[in-house]
Amino acid sequence: MTTSENELRKQRILDAAAALFVQYGYDKTTVSDIARRAGVSKGAIYLHFDSKDALLEALFLRETQRYTQKWGELLEADPDGGRIGPMYKNILIALMDSPFMSAIFSQDNRVFGTYLRKPDNIFQKMRSAQTEQPRYRFVMMMQEAGAIRPELDPAVVAHIMTMLSYSLIVIGDILEPRFIPPLEDVFDGIADMLDRALTPKDGGNPEAGKEVIRQLQAGGQQ
């Protein structure tokens, strides 16, 4: 089997695992289930991954990278993407586009189950590596670039943005669908509110805002 065929098989396995983990959860999904869904033998999975944990962690990394790439592309394609409102809207669109990425963000116990209680799981490693709230540096850089009002507390702004993202993911567990507006309208509403609350009165510097994201992506940050 060629390198490209090997990689295609690996991606097929990861695709199958993502679908099954979201549908049934990590605990109820077996390696045999994943092999069946991917159309490969169980042994073929172990050629790529040492264990189900290793497969999950590879999937975590792939989906995180895809998410970052997608919202970066959305931002670049959006003429207003350097303003905080449209920028955050594009982040939310990319986040909600992947059910598995949404589960990662909320550390969904239904999806990840007992994996979350394992010592040195990937979520714990990620938290241990963080020296500050993930969005704190982003808000600071946006303020320095003139894209967010400088007088606001960056820790508070970062926390509110994280709360909005988390709430968007879990709101379906709290409200009946008939009470939830169309997602596109919600995204537009959030973008409008953030723009009104956070953008400097002179309109800020949208191009400098885009450059902040480019710098963060180049440095491997979200």
Distance CA 103, CA 123 (A): 12
**Claim to verify: residue 4 and residue 92 sit in the same structural domain:** no
Mean residue pLDDT across the chain: 91
Domain check: are 77 and 98 in the same one?
A: yes
Residue 193 pLDDT > 90: yes
Its domain, for residue 8, covers 1-49
Q: Are residues 45 and 87 in the same domain?
A: no
**Per-residue model confidence (pLDDT) at position 221:** 54
Range 13-30 average pLDDT: 97
Question: 3-state SS of the chain: helix, strand, coil percent to 5?
Answer: 75, 0, 25
Listed residue (151, 149, 123, 161) closest to 201, CA to CA: 149
Identify whether residues 40 and 92 lie together within a single domain: no
Would residue 54 count as lying in a domain?
Answer: no
Q: Are residues 34 and 109 in the same domain?
A: no
Residue 107 domain-assigned (yes or no): yes
Q: Does the pLDDT of residue 198 top 80, yes or no? A: yes
The tokens of 15 are what? 């695709």
pLDDT value, residue 111: 96
Q: How confident is the model at residue 220 (pLDDT cuts 50, 70, 90)?
A: low
pLDDT in tens, 102-127: 999 999 999 999 999 999 899 998 88
Q: What is the mean pLDDT of residues 138-146?
A: 93
C-alpha to C-alpha distances, 215 to 13, 121, 166, nearest whole angstrom: 33, 28, 25
Radius of gyration of the chain (CA): 19
Residue 32 is predicted with a pLDDT of 97
169 closest CA partner among 58, 91, 82: 91
Which residue's structure tokens are 């040492």?
50
Whether the CB-CB separation of 76 and 212 falls below 8 Å is answered with no
Predicted TM-score (pTM) of the model is 0.86
Which structure tokens are listed for 183? 């997602």
pLDDT per position as a tens digit, 12-21: 999 999 999 9
pLDDT classification of 189: cutoffs 50, 70, 90: very high
Which two structure tokens, joined as six digits, stand for 91?
């982040």
Residue 113 lies in a domain: yes
